[in-house]
Amino acid sequence: MMDHEKTLALGDQIIEKLKTVFDPEIPVNIYDLGLVYNISIDNQSVARITMTLTAPNCPVAETLPEEVKETVMTVEGIEGCEVEITFDPPWTKDMMSEEAMLDLGFL
């Protein structure tokens, strides 16, 4: 069984990697945009990412989950990655980090 500290460290590394994935329409990474709803890592070191898109008809609906999966798989210690797309709750700009809002001039 994976210890809690190792899981937290892997989670932090995944977040750092997710901050390198950008929404093609908004010049902010998907993590600071608030598109990532949940990150969990099971005992087999498989990461499960629950995320959304800025819009259901987002042009990257097919490619972004694959990019997220490939990016997460570069974290040492991660053996697999499953990405689930959800639109519940729907994304709003209120989910963005303050940093993202500042970058985009919302604050």
Q: Domain boundaries in the chain?
A: 4-104
- pLDDT given for residue 2 in this prediction: 59
**Cα–Cα distance, 91 to 93 (Å, whole number):** 7
**Cα–Cα distance, 84 to 87 (Å, whole number):** 10
Q: What is the value of pTM for the model shown?
A: 0.90
**Cα–Cα distance, 10 to 81 (Å, whole number):** 12
**Cα–Cα distance, 14 to 50 (Å, whole number):** 13
- pLDDT given for residue 61 in this prediction: 85
In CATH, 4-104 is 3.30.1300.10: no
- What is the full per-residue pLDDT of the chain (107 aa) written as tens digits? 458 888 889 999 999 999 999 988 888 999 999 999 999 999 999 999 999 998 888 788 889 999 999 999 999 999 999 999 999 999 998 999 999 999 889 87
**Cα–Cα distance, 80 to 92 (Å, whole number):** 29
**What does the radius of gyration of the chain's CA atoms come to, in whole angstroms?**
14
- pLDDT given for residue 31 in this prediction: 97
- pLDDT given for residue 68 in this prediction: 97
